[in-house]
Amino acid sequence: MLLTLLLGATACGGDKPSPAKTADPVKAAEPAKPAKPAEPASPAAVDRSKDPAFALKQDGDRYLGPVRDACPDGAHSAPAPKVAPAVADDKLRLELPFGGCPTWQPYSVVVGKGSPLPFYVCVDPEADKCQLAGNKTWLFDIGAALQANSATEVTYSVPAGVH
């Protein structure tokens, strides 16, 4: 009986167990490389020419621009207009550089809160490929923001952190 137990033990584990594979110390110390995030579309890749939300709208010789919550992707805040802004009939009137061949709205306005009502202009440099040789009058309907803030005047103000 003792012989049977010994033979059984030899048959089951008699061979020397193979050493467990150990991790390569160099590879184990290397952190896993994160997957490379997808590159954001460059402003040049943004084509809004067929997007109705960015369609050019005119009233006579003036362009009608949108009021937005923030600058659209690819756009950035523009320097303060050289000609002082004016408010009439709930419209913000701005003289802005214009090249004459925009394919979608190059400008939009973002308003803040307060009186005078703070605002800034966003410009999409890809919208108008022509050399900005002159100015054009742009109107932005800010009536709701004027009323909500009990404001009658505006001031150009780009918040910190906006580019």
Residues 122-154: b if buried by 16+ CB within 10 A, e if exposed: bbbebbbeeeeeeebbbbbbbeebbeebebeeb
Residue 133: per-residue pLDDT: 73
Confidence of residue 7 (pLDDT cuts 50, 70, 90): very low
Residue 41: per-residue pLDDT: 46
What is the mean pLDDT of the segment spanning 5-32?
A: 47
CB 97 within 8 A of CB 122: no
Q: Is the peptide bond before 159 cis (omega within 30 degrees of 0)?
A: no
More confident residue, 73 or 160: 73
Handedness of CA 69, 119, 88, 100 (dihedral sign): negative
More confident residue, 90 or 135: 90
Distance separating alpha carbons of residues 154 and 86, to the nearest angstrom: 8
Query: How far are the Cα atoms of 9, 81, 143, 147 from residue 90, in angstroms, in the given order?
Result: 96, 19, 4, 9
Distance separating alpha carbons of residues 71 and 105, to the nearest angstrom: 12
- Phi-psi region for residue 32, left (φ > 0), alpha (ψ -120 to 50) or beta? beta
- Of the listed ranges 25-34, 45-54, 105-114, the least confidently predicted one is 25-34
H or E segment at 146? helix 143-148
Confidence of residue 147 (pLDDT cuts 50, 70, 90): very high
Residue 6: per-residue pLDDT: 38
Residue 102: per-residue pLDDT: 85
